[in-house]
Amino acid sequence: MSVKMRYFPGGKTKALTMSYDDGPKFDRRLIEIFNKYGIKGTFHLNSGNLTETKTEDAWNVSKEEVAELYKGHEVSVHTLTHPNPCMLSNMGVVKEIMQDKQNLEQLCGYPVRGMSYPFGAYDDDVLSILPAVGMEYSRTVNSTGRFSLPKNFLEWHPTAHHCADICEKGKEFLESNRPWDRNVMYVWGHSYEFNNDNNWELIEEFCELMSGHDNVWYATNIEIVDYVNAVRALKFTADETVVYNPSAISVWVDVDGAAVEVKGGETKKLK
């Protein structure tokens, strides 16, 4: 008997997640496109830069619209004021993350557990701080071109920026068949770039291309983190014939080529 960890929820074989920074007003249009095609995104916000009320002239979205605007997606930390974390003291890093986390939690009403690095900047000192301030993942700007999961979610390198031939990369992702690896496509960027480059059709075309595939899980960053951690936490007997799932969520494993669900809290015979 062969057991592999290659499935996502429902036995899906691929996952797509999107990641956008800063909270500019153009997130409104981007979210309309995501919702139209059933794409999920994570939005990393600087709460110190959000306006109190919604106005068309303001560059950033407002605090009063965060909960409704990002509903169905994920709100995530991007620090309070967007400094370079490597230029701060350790206490400065803690304050920038914790104040942003606290502010965002008051706006969205749930625990905020992940982030992206302002300017993509981080070092060993910053990495060492993140677990203590409740961060379970953080995205870099170091695009890999690959569809792999990170060894360390605190250094989560994306697949590609949305301007990097993203539709061609999407086609490659949909056509790829890599049963030996987790197939995750992670796209990042800033919604204002579509306005600056006058190419909103790019993200519309990409979302249309990627939508509605039965084998693709459309997920936020934290949903992928939670699921992968649940898979990694599975407990097997030495011969892999019995598995225990200590988490609260169902996971799917490959048993001799078939997708098998192991429910949260379940001890299951695989053979």
Residue 180: pLDDT over 60: no
Higher pLDDT, 90 or 177: 90
CA angle 74, 162, 118 (to 5 degrees): 60
Give the chain's count of helices (H) and strands (E). 8, 14
Instruction: Give alpha helix (H) positions in the chain.
Output: 27-37, 66-69, 90-108, 124-129, 166-175, 192-197, 200-210, 221-232
What's the confidence (pLDDT) of residue 179?
A: 58
- Model confidence at 6, pLDDT cuts 50, 70, 90, reads confident
Residue 171: pLDDT over 60: yes
pLDDT tens column, 186-234: 999 999 999 999 999 999 999 999 999 999 999 999 999 999 999 999 9
- The one-letter code for the residue type at 134 is G
Closest CA to 119 of 51, 46, 195: 46
What's the confidence (pLDDT) of residue 212?
A: 98
Please provide the average confidence, as pLDDT, over all residues in the chain.
Answer: 95
Q: What is the mean pLDDT of residues 141-168?
A: 95
Share of the chain above pLDDT 70, in %: 99
Query: What are the backbone dihedrals phi and psi of residue 97, each rounded to the nearest 5 degrees, phi first?
Result: -75, -50
What's the confidence (pLDDT) of residue 5?
A: 84
What's the confidence (pLDDT) of residue 3?
A: 81
Cβ atoms of 163 and 197 within 8 Å: the answer is: yes
Residue 253: pLDDT over 60: yes
Distance, in Å, from the CA atom of 86 to the CA atom of 70, rounded to the nearest integer, reads 29
Share of the chain above pLDDT 90, in %: 92
pLDDT tens column, 105-140: 999 999 999 999 999 999 999 999 999 999 999 999
> In the chain, what are the domains?
3-230 (3.20.20.370), 234-269 (no CATH)
